[in-house]
A = this chain, B = another copy of it.
Amino acid sequence: MIRTLAALGAMTLAIPALANPLPTLAEAADAAHRGDTIAWDFLEGITTEVGPRQAGTEAEARGRAWAVAWLKANGFANVADEPFMMDTWVPGDIARARITAPFAQDLAVLPLGDSAATPVGGIEAEVVYFRTVDDLRAAPAGSLKGKIAFISHAMSRTQDGSQYGFAGPARWVGAGIAASKGALATVIKSVGTDHHRNPHTGGTDFPDGVKPTPAGALSLPDAANLERMFARAAGKPIRMKLELNPRRLGRTQSGNVVGEIVGRNPSLPPVLLACHIDSWWNSPGAFDDGAGCAIIAAAARNAARAGQPLRTIRVLMAGAEEVGLFGSVAYSKAHIDEPIAVGLESDFGADRIWRFDSNFRETNPALHKKIAAAVARFGVSAGTDVATGGADINIVRDQKGALIDLQQDGTRYFDLHHTPDDTLDKIDIVQLRQNVAVWTQVAGILANEESAILTGGVVPSAPPIMQNK
């Protein structure tokens, strides 16, 4: 005991007599892990004071204005809302589905993005049941004329979210395929893994030359009920009445919110941390993607606690991601000639990061290993996949630049994705703080990197890949 106290005394004496010496980057990350408050402040604020933020609407504009004010209040420089124009779809306020025969029961439904409206009062037609999109693809041309297609699927929870690619086509292309075979309308089992009466919306695509039809998502329990009805109907036709009134507003304004922690050498390509500010109209967007914006903004601030970084850290809160990555595309178009050193996106909730991948493991192994060593204490392993970046960093892919993916635990993600249940209470603050800590550590390393991040070589005037263009 005495020895320990003596050692502590010596250590205390050894610390330089500065008032509030700067923490190291590792200390800043550890502090965020223990008790970051910045991310929660952003997330509680935007979900409470704004709520849902459908792309291209006044609600998204309020969300952007809120984010601009928050970034300024939190010490970001060069804060701006960079406008772009987009084609805007809104869901309307009528979404009703009812089985009328041989049983009678309402089903919970919401329109999919880009759904057409039914006539006022709705349509009523026989439902044709497809267990999978492949079953629908196999249906003969014209065979759905005058019918409503019901497309099901079975989706399992996965940590890496990989079953989104497995089940997602029911939503992404199902309505278009059904319409091409003559269907009046389509309903799908929600692409999700929960058991609640809240449908998962999301975008659907109608191919060129196929006129959009009404298209809706049933909640998982309602889709399961409809499947049971088919099993119990003994071949009798199942009829559905469906009414949806989404509409198109034409061209409206959206925007990309940006803000910076300016680096000591602002002429160096910046580190770009991205998220999206919009959400579907039915969802307060806590997981998707308020959390992502909260994490990257908190990480930028925390990394700066260790001293002004060498490179600028720029946060990009993209508009209109959900409806077609319009913000990401607009940002790339506007800034393609301004090299980005490295891009990272957070858009998969707020649960624990468990792996990191980069696209420079072979070209800059020293940096890859340095990051691996720095995040290991947070339970993050180094992966061998090649990072591809997220939806909001088109600019980095367009520049063929450096990318890092910080892989989050997505086990719960598709319980909440695009539903009204994506609310603040779903955020586990302990896991949120682990995200902030990992991002603080990684953003800080990248922002203080003197060499070119993709290659480890001398920093060129533009990323090497652009010079090769």
> Which residues on A are within 8 Å of B, measured CB to CB?
44-45, 47-52, 59, 62, 103-106, 108, 195-198, 220-221, 224-225, 228-229, 232, 284, 419-421, 423-426
A51 contacts B106, C-beta separation under 8 Å? yes
Q: Which of A105, A198, A224 has the most CB atoms of chain B within a 10 A radius of its CB? A: A105
Residues A420 and B197 in contact in the complex (CB < 8 Å), given A104-B62, A425-B221 = yes
User: Given that A195-B425, A221-B425 are contacting pairs, would A420 and B108 also be in contact in the complex, using a CB cutoff of 8 Å?
Assistant: yes
Task: Give Cα A50 to B225, complex, Å.
Answer: 11
Beyond A221-B421, A421-B221, A423-B225, whether A197 also contacts B195 by CB under 8 A is no
CB distance from A90 to the nearest CB of B (A): 14
Report whether B426 and A48 are in contact in the complex, using a CB–CB cutoff of 8 Å: no
Q: For the complex, what is the distance from the CA of A59 to the CA of B104, rounded to whole Å?
A: 9
The listed residue (B59, B225, B232, B423) touching A195 by CB distance below 8 A is B423
Asked whether, in the complex, the Cβ of B106 is within 8 Å of the Cβ of A224, the reply is: no
Please measure, in the bound complex, the distance between the C-alpha atom of A268 and the C-alpha atom of B308, giving whole angstroms.
90
**Cα–Cα, bound, A151→B356 (Å):** 46
Shortest distance between the CB of A8 and any CB in chain B (Å): 41
What's the Cα separation between A339 and B232 when bound, in Å? 40
Docked-complex contact B62 and A196, CB < 8 angstroms: no
Q: Which B residues touch A224, using CB under 8 A?
A: 423-425
10 closest A-B pairs (Cβ-Cβ)?
Answer: A51-B105, A197-B420, A221-B423, A48-B228, A49-B103, A195-B425, A196-B196, A221-B425, A196-B421, A197-B421
Expressed in whole angstroms, the Cα–Cα distance for A104 and B57 within the complex equals 13
> Does B48 lie within 8 Å of A221, measured CB to CB?
no
CA distance A62 to B106 in the complex (A): 14
From B51, B59, B232, B284, contact of A48 by CB (8 A): B232
Tell me whether A424 and B221 are in contact (CB under 8 A).
yes
Enumerate 6 A-B pairs (CB-CB under 8 Å) in ascending A order. A51-B104, A51-B105, A52-B106, A220-B425, A224-B423, A225-B424
Alpha-carbon distance between A108 and B225 when the two chains are bound, in angstroms? 24
